[in-house]
Amino acid sequence: MKASRTFVAAILATSAILTGCASNSSQPYGGGYSSNSSVSQGYGVIESIQVAQADNRTSGAGAILGGLVGAVAGSQIGSGGGRTAATVAGGVAGAAVGNRVESNRNAGGQEMYQINVRMDNGEYRAVTQDSAYDLRVGNRVRIVDGRVYRY
């Protein structure tokens, strides 16, 4: 019973640590332009379109699986308080390794397009989106809800 409580505590500690390390950034490139695209709307002309690679995001599944395997392996070492410490250390190390393995599997990331727009008011905006299908430099465009559309 005590071993299962220790194991659950190790898993919860590992997931809490890894959740704090998660990144929610969806913009792989800043480029010196303002990027107020989430709320802004307006009209302008495309100045440039650049291809960028999105960040290697991980789902957390690798970290969770690695943490479980590491905690199980760590619980096999020592006895008493040493076993608890080994279980926690194994869980943390396994989670870090599992997260790295998942990140390496997703290497390359998704291809994204940074579209730099000179707005009618003279301001420059950079919008990053997954497609630039019918957009070309010099097109008159509008920005709605963080996406660029031909106008």
CA 91 to centroid of chain Cα atoms: 22
Q: What angle do CA 147, 40, 110 make, to 5 degrees?
A: 30
Q: What is the sign of the dihedral through the CA atoms of 63, 66, 68 and 71?
A: negative
Q: What is the pLDDT of residue 141?
A: 94
Amino acid identity, residue 30?
G
Distance, in Å, from the CA atom of 67 to the CA atom of 94, rounded to the nearest integer, reads: 4
For the record, the structure tokens of 111 come out as 């291809």
Q: What is the pLDDT of residue 37?
A: 41
Residues of the chain with pLDDT under 50: 23-39
Q: Reduced to 3 DSSP states, what percent helix, strand and coil does the chain have, rounded to the nearest 5?
A: 40, 25, 35
Instruction: Report the top-level CATH class of 31-55+109-151.
Output: mainly beta
pLDDT digits (tens, 9 = 90+) for 50-70: 887 766 667 788 888 888 888
Q: What is the pLDDT of residue 86?
A: 86
Q: What is the pLDDT of residue 142?
A: 92
Domain(s) labelled CATH 2.40.50 in the chain stretch across 31-55+109-151
Can you give the pTM of this predicted structure? Answer: 0.44
Q: What is the pLDDT of residue 2?
A: 61
pLDDT digits (tens, 9 = 90+) for 8-22: 665 666 565 655 555
Q: What angle do CA 142, 135, 47 make, to 5 degrees?
A: 70
